[in-house]
Structure 1
Amino acid sequence: MTALITTPELQQHLSAWLRDLGSVRRLAPKTLEAYQRDLSQFLTFLSGHTGGLVGLKTLGELRAADIRAFFSERRAGDVGSRSLARSLSAIRSFFGYLERHGIARTEALNAIRTPKQSRGLPKALTILEARSAITATDELEDTPWIAARDMAVISLLYGAGLRISEALALTRLDLEAETLRVTGKGGKTRMVPLIPQVRQAIGTYLDLCPMHLSPSEPIFRGKKGGPLSPRLIQLRLAQLRGALGLPPSATPHALRHSFATHLLGRGGDLRAIQELLGHASLSTTQIYTAVDTERLLDAYRAAHPRA
Structure 2
Amino acid sequence: MDPISVAGSALGIVSQANKIYQLIAEALALNYRRERLGKFEFISTLGLLNLADVQIAHWNINCWKDEEMMQWKKTYTDGCNAVAIAGAIFASIGLSALQLPNMDDIHWTVRALFSTSMVFGILSVTSATSLNQQVGRLNSALDIRLWLSRGKGRMKHCEPYSLMPLESSISALKISEIPNLLLNLAVVLFLIGFGLYLLFSWLNHIEQSGIAYRNVFIVFVIAVVVSCLYYFTWVVVRILEAQKRSEEFELIPPEKFQRPSSQQLLQQKLHSVQKLQGLRGDEEEYLKKVKECLEVLQLQEIARGVAEEA
TM-score of the superposed pair, with normalisation by structure 1: 0.21
Name the larger-Rg structure.
Answer: 2
In proportion to residue count, which structure has more helix? Answer: 2
